[in-house]
Amino acid sequence: MPEASDGLNAAQLEAVTHPGGPLLVLGAAGTGKTSTLVERFAWLVENGVASPATVDEIVRDGLARRWRYTGPFQTAALGGAATFERVANLLWPALSTATSLQDLRRWLDESPETTGPLRERRDRGLAADMRADLAQERGADA
């Protein structure tokens, strides 16, 4: 079990050992967010919540993979501003002091001329990533 003597401050220790549910971790660059996440991942494995392979899969195949091809505003444009606003309005009050997201469209270019090529680029990139993953897995099994 991590302890403050492991170099974690009280807030980091709370994040690492959080029993479950959403937890917002805030901090400026260099304040230990990445170290805290790594400690959290180890805690999850040590406590039987997840295996190392599951943690790796979630981190590797989560938003980071998608955002390699489209940033958060481009992703919102592809998914539709109304969808993102509804999700944010449901989750943000539970996750933070924010209460709503309104008028996301003011920052989005949802035009077909923009979203069409963006969607194609994202989909081609993700498909290529998946093919490369499968080829690597098959090569490792051989």
Please measure the distance between the N-terminal and C-terminal CA atoms of the chain and give it in whole angstroms.
39
Distance, in Å, from the CA atom of 50 to the CA atom of 45, rounded to the nearest integer, reads 5
Name residue 20's amino acid: G
**pLDDT at res. 96:** 66
Tokens standing for residue 110: 């949802």
Q: Which of 35, 17, 15 is nearest to 25 (CA)?
A: 15
Task: Give the domain ranges of the chain.
Answer: 1-61, 62-142
What digits encode the pLDDT tens for the residues 29-51?
788 888 888 888 888 888 888 88
What digits encode the pLDDT tens for the residues 105-125?
888 899 999 999 999 999 999
Could you give the residue ranges of the DSSP H alpha helices within 4-111?
A: 10-16, 33-46, 52-61, 63-67, 72-79, 81-95
